[in-house]
Amino acid sequence: MTKLENEKQYESAMKRINELLEFVGEDTPEDDFRSVELVLLSNLVADYEDEHYPIKKPTLIDVLKLRMYEMGLNQCALAAMLGMNQSKLSEIISGKCEPTLKQARTMAQKLNISASIVLGV
């Protein structure tokens, strides 16, 4: 088998992986038949998931909302932390406008967000 073709095959592969995990550990030799099977099935599953369940890149809005939750901040507190007008932050979070380069730099630094996410690239 070179590719999982459908959900039934995917589910069977996942079931077998869970079974193999009981027998394969850190000290299991790489050439052990169970270890080899686990690696092969894992690669097939990863390829299937990449094709059928892709993970989208997070948006700035997603990350801002997550950081607000993690830090226990509301929009007013976040705006103060970033040194920006609350209405401007509200427009950014609602997707009505993009941050300026200066605002983007401040967000990336103060919230530890990747510049590529802040700039949307």
Angle, CA 66 vertex, CA 76 and CA 60 arms, to 5° = 85
Residue owning tokens 């919230």? 111
Digit-coded pLDDT (tens) for 20-47:
999 998 899 999 999 999 999 999 999 9
Domain ranges of the chain: 7-52, 60-119
Answer yes or no: is pLDDT of 121 > 90: no
Return the pLDDT at 118: 86
Angle formed at CA 55 by CA 54 and CA 58, multiple of 5 degrees: 150
The whole-number average pLDDT for the span 95-104 is 92
* Statement: 60-119 belongs to CATH 1.10.260.40: yes
Quick: pLDDT tens for 41-96.
999 999 999 999 998 888 999 999 999 999 999 999 999 999 999 999 999 999 99
Task: Locate 20 and state its tokens.
Answer: 């193999």
